[in-house]
Amino acid sequence: MRNEMTLEFLSVSENESLARVAVAAFISQMNPTMEELTDIKTVVSEAVTNAIIHGYEENPHQKVMLSCAIDGEQIEIIIKDEGKGISDIEEAKEPLFTSKPEWERSGMGFTIMENFMDKVDVTSEPNIGTTIRMMKQLTSTRALCN
């Protein structure tokens, strides 16, 4: 059975922890391992932070959209913004690349997402926004609701 949740919040840094907790609470019904839960919370943090800092350039009046779905043993997480977009996705995915070097950003967000998830798709268009879709198959699913 497929289960879904959607959350929309203002693009302020404080809401990054809200996104992490919301996804963690939602997927807890799958009884993930601590490592799986930590990985998923980390990628949600990276994607939401990218939307806030790079997509909206910290404009607190914009909204970040988060959706999460469970389908069998697979989790799908989508983080979407309607910000400035990414002109060169392949360049942005390069380790250590950052559009904010003056902020001493590590430039490892996409690398972390790709290492912790089974699949990461990024679509973006300048001045339209960015959507990050991540998938992960849990290895230890023992659904609590069954």
Both structure tokens of 71? 């389908």
Burial 67-77 (b: 16+ CB within 10 A, else e): bbbbeeebbbb
What number of other Cβ atoms are within 10 A of residue 23's Cβ? 25
Determine which one of 50, 90, 127, 142 is catalytic: 50
Determine which one of 16, 36, 46, 82 is catalytic: 46
Determine which one of 73, 105, 114, 133 is catalytic: 105
Task: Tell me whether residue 105 is one of the annotated catalytic residues.
Answer: yes
Task: Tell me whether residue 16 is one of the annotated catalytic residues.
Answer: no
Rounded CA separation 84/53 (Å): 11
Rounded CA separation 132/48 (Å): 10
Task: Tell me whether residue 142 is one of the annotated catalytic residues.
Answer: no
AA identity, residue 58? E
Both structure tokens of 5? 């949740």
Q: Which residues are catalytic?
A: 46, 50, 105
